[in-house]
Amino acid sequence: MSDATDALNRIFGYPSFRGEQGDIVDHVINGGDALVLMPTGGGKSLCYQIPALVRPGTGVVISPLIALMQDQVDALRTVGVRANFLNSSQDFDERRIVEAEFVAGELDLLYVAPEGLGTAGVQRLLDRGKISLFAIDEAHCVAQWGHDFRPDYLNLSMLHERWPDVPRIALTATATPATRDEIASRLRLTEARHFTASFDRPNIQYRIVPKNSPSKQLLDLLKTEHAGHSGIVYCLSRASVEKHAQFLSDNGIPALPYHAGLDARTRFQNQGRFLREDGLVMVATIAFGMGIDKPDVRFVAHLDLPKSVEGYYQETGRAGRDGLPSTAWLAYGLQDVVQQRKMIESSDGAAEFRRNANRHLDAMLALCESVTCRRAQVLEYFGQETAAETCGNCDTCLSPPESWDGTVPAQKLLSTVFRLQKERGQKFGAGQSIDILLGKRTEKVSQFRHDDLSVFGIGTDLKEAEWRGVVRQLLAGGFLAVEGEYGTLALTDRSSEVLRGERKLMMRRELAVAKSRSGSGSSRQPAAAPADFPESAAPLFEKLRTWRGAVAKEQGVPAYVIFHDATLRAIATLAPVSLEQLGTVTGVGQSKLAKFGDQVLEVTRAEA
Ligand code: ADP
Ligand code: ZN
CA 347 to each of CA 350, 355, 356, 491: distance values in angstroms, whole numbers, following the listed order: 9, 11, 12, 21
DSSP symbol at 134: E
Pocket test for ligand 1, best of 17, 47, 293 (most atoms within 8 A of CB): 293
Give pLDDT, residue 189. 93
60: closest CA among 119, 105, 126, 3?
A: 126
Cβ-count burial 392-426 (b if 16+ within 10 Å, e if not): ebbbbbeeebeeeebeebbbbbbbbbbbbbeeeee
Q: How far is the CA of 393 from the centre of ligand 2 (A)?
A: 5
- Tell me how far apart the alpha carbons of residues 313 and 334 are, in angstroms, rounded to a whole number: 21
Which part of the chain has CATH 1.10.10.10?
404-508
Task: Annotate 502-553 with DSSP letters as a single string.
Answer: ----EEEPPHHHHHHHHTTS--SPSPPPPTTS-GGGHHHHHHHHHHHHHHHH
pLDDT averaged over 10-residue windows placed end to end, the chain, 608 residues: 92 93 97 93 93 98 87 92 94 95 97 91 95 95 80 91 95 83 91 91 94 95 95 96 97 96 94 90 93 90 95 93 93 91 83 86 91 90 78 91 92 95 91 95 94 95 91 88 84 92 86 38 45 82 91 87 90 92 92 94 86
Task: Determine whether domain 535-607 maps to CATH 1.10.150.80.
Answer: yes
Q: How far is the CA of 401 from the centre of ligand 2 (A)?
A: 12
Return the ligand 1 atom nearest residue 47 CA: 6
Amino acid at 567: T
C-alpha angle 39-42-45 in degrees, rounded to nearest 5: 110
Quote the strand ranges of 238-379, DSSP E: 255-258, 281-284, 297-302, 326-332
Give pLDDT, residue 514. 38
Return the ligand 1 atom nearest residue 564 CA: 14
Whether 403 and 473 have beta carbons less than 8 Å apart is answered as no
The CATH number, out of the four listed (3.40.50.300, 3.40.50.10330, 3.30.450.40, 3.30.110.30), of the domain defined by the range 204-402: 3.40.50.300
CATH assignment, 404-508: 1.10.10.10
C-alpha angle 282-283-289 in degrees, rounded to nearest 5: 65
Return the ligand 1 atom nearest residue 42 CA: 3
Residue nearest to atom 17 of ligand 1 (CA): 43
Return the ligand 1 atom nearest residue 21 CA: 23
The SS3 of residue 360 is: helix
Q: How many CB atoms lie within 10 A of CB 579?
A: 14
Radius of gyration in angstroms for the set of CA atoms belonging to the chain, rounded to a whole number: 27
Q: How far is the CA of 395 from the centre of ligand 2 (A)?
A: 7
Which part of the chain has CATH 3.40.50.300?
2-196, 204-402
Residue nearest to atom 12 of ligand 1 (CA): 43
42: closest CA among 317, 381, 294, 297?
A: 317
Residue nearest to atom 19 of ligand 1 (CA): 43
4: closest CA among 28, 34, 37, 39?
A: 28
Ligand 1: list residues with CB < 6 Å. Answer: 14, 17-18, 21, 38, 40-46, 293, 295, 321, 564, 586
- Tell me how far apart the alpha carbons of residues 318 and 297 are, in angstroms, rounded to a whole number: 7
Which part of the chain has CATH 1.10.150.80?
535-607
247: closest CA among 273, 214, 296, 285?
A: 214
Q: Of the bound ligands, which one is closest to the alpha carbon of residue 197?
A: 1
Could you tell me which residues are beta bridge partners of residue 154? none
Q: How many CB atoms lie within 10 A of CB 503?
A: 16
> In whole angstroms, what separates CA 83 from the centre of its chain?
27
Task: Annotate 406-461 with DSSP letters as a single string.
Answer: -HHHHHHHHHHHHHHHHHH-----HHHHHHHHHT---HHHHHTTGGGSTTTTTTTT
Whether 297 and 320 have beta carbons less than 8 Å apart is answered as yes
Write out the CATH class of domain 2-196: alpha beta
- Tell me how far apart the alpha carbons of residues 457 and 561 are, in angstroms, rounded to a whole number: 63
Q: How far is the CA of 206 from the centre of ligand 2 (A)?
A: 8
Could you tell me which residues are beta bridge partners of residue 262? none
- Tell me how far apart the alpha carbons of residues 441 and 451 are, in angstroms, rounded to a whole number: 7
Q: How many CB atoms lie within 10 A of CB 207?
A: 22
- Tell me how far apart the alpha carbons of residues 492 and 489 are, in angstroms, rounded to a whole number: 10
Residue nearest to atom 18 of ligand 1 (CA): 43
Residue 447 burial class via C-beta count within 10 angstroms: exposed 0-12, middle 13-18, buried 19 and up: exposed
Q: How far is the CA of 42 from the centre of ligand 1 (A)?
A: 6
- Tell me how far apart the alpha carbons of residues 123 and 163 are, in angstroms, rounded to a whole number: 10
Give pLDDT, residue 531. 59
Q: Of the bound ligands, which one is closest to the alpha carbon of residue 203?
A: 2
Residue nearest to atom 24 of ligand 1 (CA): 14
Query: Phi and psi of 603, rounded to 5°?
Result: -70, -45
Give pLDDT, residue 384. 82
